[in-house]
């Protein structure tokens, strides 16, 4: 049974949703529509003439090796960020779930990083890991590691993954903690009486029961790694060195705003838009059905 | 097969709350022991201590001649049936029952035969591949039972296993549990707040209140000779009528050494409506206030004409001055009628003024 409000007037419900609709239309649909239109246009270098080129911008992208590399890189980043932040958050949540003294404080502190904006996260980690200024860089060098993310692309990538994953740990932690607390205590007690040691209990009971949470977070983390890491990349590496930290979203920005190639940039953003739609579609489909266990 | 012995077992929570204040119980091999009491009396805590799910603050828990205070739940050789069944929701019925056996490294063939045997006994054979959420409450309950019996443990522990079932199923499952326990002859400890369940299941009944044992014994012996007013009003439905009395009054009527008697108890079924006063017994004039007919018997609620107040043994009992009389059949006096009820000497229960001691006059 679904709850249904009954309105006397036919106009009132429309009036009530109008503000929300207006915001969505003006700030989401309009720019999206513009991007779609733009992606079919080609401008000359001086911006004097614009011509309609159908799918040429898209076809260009398919032939562009740098774009292909950005796709691979983005997927790799997403995977690395999602896996590292999910596993670390799960570890923290499992520890916070135990009835310990001061667990409230511990939990609160763990939630804080979520409130930090991505660019600030970038600046924070740069302070610690900058090759010449960073506090941690000194120790890394003392350990014999030639730490210089300004020159070494792999190190720069690692830095981005580290900072992005760190920020997402809080969010994941919160959901994992809620997920863990929704597992009935008696089920775990039954498993303990059934002779399952803590590790086995975790892998055979807790983990399967968390699978809906894990799946939900996986999608959220991938979306986050795809789109919300822009601020971190821009403050930390600006896509460099070379193009070693250019992700799809960063490429939209650098090709369009820095490179001035609006047509290609728009085409890239339309492709991203389709990816988001697909990801969200998957999520809705599964969240509604629930991951069955 | 094992005895379970509790020796002055105590439990104090970190906050200082004393949940169990020294409990001594001895459950013989193959016996069915029921812990009964109102909610918050510590009966579940005590059971969880036997299971190893709660730490023991003081005293000893002995299962089969081994002190298990420091032993992990898994190593106590016990099986527990939880109130909410605590089935593994992501596992099939088969795997729910097999889980504990697999954890102990039993061969798959042996697991299969044990699970199938348990499923046959519990009539779960057609649903072995189903998930718990596809089962009804009664079926889940049976899976929980099955999970316990496949292990063939030394002791079964039941934590209010029937309280989530509807009344009809509860009675059916009650009988099933008793039959199963008799057949397997496994020592069992069963927690309930339902005194009827307690009476029908128990070989040994342990009545608990406020973290202490009020009385231990055979259920009928407890019913016939309750040790305190708490037990008197908790065991038996409707509860025993308790009246405060003056010692000299009792003395003159009953004679003997009943000097410190303060409370007189009479069970509703021990009253008869009569004009005579039996020798050594008591008679009470009553005004009928309400009648409840339940078919085979009728409950008459009457108020006493004297000013003496009925002592409420526990909060939430009948209002002072009210007496319940149980009579067979459906014949009953009219509301407002003045009647006289009497009980013979053998049916009187005498307690000290604080209700803590039974007095045999």
What is the residue extent of each domain of chain A? Answer: 55-289
Give the domains, in start order, of chain B with CATH numbers. 4-229 (3.40.50.300), 239-359 (2.40.50.140)
Residue A124 pLDDT > 80: yes
Contact across the interface for B80 and A193, Cβ inside 8 Å: yes
- B106-158 per-position pLDDT tens digit: 899 999 999 999 999 888 899 999 999 999 888 999 999 999 999 889 999 99
| Among the listed residues B272, B240, B279, the one whose alpha carbon sits nearest the alpha carbon of residue B342 | B272
Chain A positions with Cβ closer than 8 Å to B: 184, 186-187, 189-197, 200, 204-205, 208-209, 211, 293
User: Is B99 near chain A, with CB under 8 Å?
Assistant: yes
- A243-272 per-position pLDDT tens digit: 788 888 888 888 877 777 777 888 888 888
Q: Which residues of A touch B14 (CB under 8 A)?
A: none
Give me B143's structure tokens: 């899976």
Distance from CA of A172 to the nearest CA of B (A): 23
Contact across the interface for A193 and B90, Cβ inside 8 Å: no
- Closest Cβ opposite residue B104 in set A184, A189, A195: A195
Is the preceding peptide bond at A124 cis, omega within 30 degrees of 0?
Answer: no
Residue A279 pLDDT > 70: yes
Chain A's closest residue to B83, CA to CA, is A186
Residue A126 binned pLDDT confidence (cut-offs 50, 70, 90): confident
The residue of B13, B49, B74 whose CB has the most chain A CBs within 10 angstroms, and thus the best one to mutate to test that interface, is B74
- B86-98 per-position pLDDT tens digit: 999 999 999 999 9
Contact across the interface for A190 and B53, Cβ inside 8 Å: no
User: Is B88 near chain A, with CB under 8 Å?
Assistant: yes
- Whether the CB-CB separation of B159 and B47 falls below 8 Å is answered with yes
Q: Which residues of B touch A187 (CB under 8 A)?
A: 86-89
Distance from CA of B171 to the nearest CA of A (A): 24
ipTM for the whole complex = 0.81
Rg (CA), chain A: 23
Mean pLDDT of A183-206: 90
Q: Which of A112-126, A176-190, B63-77, B289-303 has the lowest mean pLDDT?
A: A112-126
CATH class of A55-289: mainly alpha
Chains A–B, number of C-beta pairs less than 8 Å apart = 61
In eight-state DSSP terms, residue A112 is G
| Among the listed residues B177, B136, B164, the one whose alpha carbon sits nearest the alpha carbon of residue B34 | B177
User: Is B100 near chain A, with CB under 8 Å?
Assistant: yes
User: Is residue B276 classed exposed, middle or buried when 0-12, 13-18 and 19+ CB atoms within 10 A define those classes?
Assistant: exposed
- A217-243 per-position pLDDT tens digit: 888 888 888 888 888 888 888 877 877
Contact across the interface for B89 and A192, Cβ inside 8 Å: no
Residue B247 binned pLDDT confidence (cut-offs 50, 70, 90): low
- A79-110 per-position pLDDT tens digit: 999 999 999 999 988 888 877 677 778 778 88
Chain A's closest residue to B99, CA to CA, is A194
- Locus of tokens 């707040």: B193
Contact across the interface for A192 and B53, Cβ inside 8 Å: yes
Give me A223's structure tokens: 């979306």
Task: Give the Å distances, CA to CA, from B168 to A223, B82, B164.
Answer: 52, 20, 12
- Whether the CB-CB separation of B205 and B36 falls below 8 Å is answered with yes
What percentage of chain B has pLDDT greater than the value 70? 91
Distance from CA of B15 to the nearest CA of A (A): 13
Give me B233's structure tokens: 């009003």
Strand-by-strand arrangement of the B78-81 sheet: B78-81, B155-159, B187-192, B32-36, B204-209, B212-217
- Closest Cβ opposite residue B84 in set A186, A195, A204: A186
Contact across the interface for B82 and A192, Cβ inside 8 Å: no
Look over chain A and give the mean of its residue pLDDT values, rounded to a whole number. Answer: 83
What pLDDT was estimated at residue B343? 86
What pLDDT was estimated at residue B95? 93
Contact across the interface for B147 and A194, Cβ inside 8 Å: yes
Contact across the interface for A192 and B84, Cβ inside 8 Å: no
Residue B313 binned pLDDT confidence (cut-offs 50, 70, 90): very low
What pLDDT was estimated at residue A114? 82
Chain B's closest residue to A291, CA to CA, is B90
């Amino acid at each position: 049974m679904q709850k249904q409000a009954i309105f006397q007037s036919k106009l009132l419900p429309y009036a009530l949703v109008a503000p929300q609709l207006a915001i969505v239309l003006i700030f989401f649909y309009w720019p999206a529509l513009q991007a779609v239109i733009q992606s079919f246009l080609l401008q000359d270098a001086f911006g004097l003439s614009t011509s309609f080129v159908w799918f040429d911008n898209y076809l260009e992208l398919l032939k562009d090796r740098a774009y292909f590399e950005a796709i691979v890189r983005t997927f790799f980043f997403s995977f690395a960020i999602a896996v590292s932040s999910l596993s670390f958050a799960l570890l923290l949540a499992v520890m916070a779930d135990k009835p310990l003294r001061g667990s409230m404080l511990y939990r609160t502190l763990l939630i804080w990083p979520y409130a930090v904006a991505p660019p600030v996260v970038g600046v924070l980690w740069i302070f610690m890991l900058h090759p010449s200024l960073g506090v941690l860089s000194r120790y890394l060098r003392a350990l014999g590691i030639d730490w210089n993310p300004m020159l070494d692309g792999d190190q720069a990538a690692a830095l981005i993954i580290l900072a992005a994953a760190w920020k997402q740990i809080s969010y994941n932690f919160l959901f994992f903690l809620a997920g863990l607390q929704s597992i009935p205590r008696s089920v775990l007690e039954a498993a303990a009486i059934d002779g399952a040691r803590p590790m086995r209990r975790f892998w055979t009971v807790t983990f399967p029961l968390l699978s809906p949470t894990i799946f939900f977070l996986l999608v959220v983390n991938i979306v986050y790694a795809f789109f919300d890491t822009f601020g971190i990349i821009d403050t930390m590496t600006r896509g460099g060195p070379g193009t070693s930290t250019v992700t799809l979203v960063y490429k939209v920005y650098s090709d369009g705003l820095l490179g001035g190639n609006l047509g290609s940039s728009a085409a890239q953003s339309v492709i991203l838009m389709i990816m988001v739609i697909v990801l969200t579609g998957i999520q809705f489909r599964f969240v509604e059905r629930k991951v069955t266990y | 097969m094992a005895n379970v012995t509790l020796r002055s077992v105590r439990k104090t929570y970190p906050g200082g709350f004393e949940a169990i204040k020294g409990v001594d119980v001895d459950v013989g091999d193959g016996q069915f022991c029921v812990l009964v009491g109102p909610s918050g009396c510590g009966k579940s805590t005590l059971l969880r201590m036997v299971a190893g799910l709660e730490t023991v603050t003081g005293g000893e828990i002995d299962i089969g001649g081994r002190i298990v205070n420091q032993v992990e739940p898994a190593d106590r050789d016990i099986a527990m049936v939880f109130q909410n069944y605590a089935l593994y929701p992501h596992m099939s019925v088969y795997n729910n029952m097999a889980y504990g056996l697999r954890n102990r490294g039993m061969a798959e063939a042996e697991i299969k035969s044990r699970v199938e045997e348990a499923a046959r006994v519990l009539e779960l054979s057609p649903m072995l591949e189903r998930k718990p959420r596809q089962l009804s409450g009664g079926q889940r309950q049976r899976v929980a039972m099955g999970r316990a019996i496949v292990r063939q443990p030394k002791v079964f522990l039941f934590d209010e296993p029937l309280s989530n079932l509807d009344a009809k199923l509860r009675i059916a499952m009650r009988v099933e549990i008793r039959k199963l326990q008799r057949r397997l002859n496994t020592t069992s400890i069963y927690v309930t707040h339902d005194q009827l369940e307690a009476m029908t299941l128990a070989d040994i009944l342990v009545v608990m209140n406020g973290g202490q044992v009020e009385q231990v014994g055979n259920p009928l012996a407890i019913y016939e000779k309750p040790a305190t007013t708490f037990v008197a009003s908790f065991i038996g439905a409707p509860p025993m009528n308790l009246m405060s009395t003056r010692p000299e009054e009792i003395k003159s009527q009953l004679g003997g050494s009943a000097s410190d008697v303060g409370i007189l108890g009479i069970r509703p079924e021990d009253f008869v409506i009569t004009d005579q006063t039996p020798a050594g017994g008591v008679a009470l004039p009553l005004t009928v206030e309400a009648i409840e007919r339940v078919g085979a018997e009728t409950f008459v609620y009457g108020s006493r004409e004297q000013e003496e107040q009925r002592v409420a043994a526990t909060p939430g009992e009948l209002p002072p001055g009210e007496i319940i009389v149980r009579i067979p059949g459906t014949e009953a006096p009219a509301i407002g009628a003045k009647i006289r009820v009497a009980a013979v000497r053998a049916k009187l229960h005498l307690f000290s003024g604080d209700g803590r001691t039974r007095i045999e006059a």
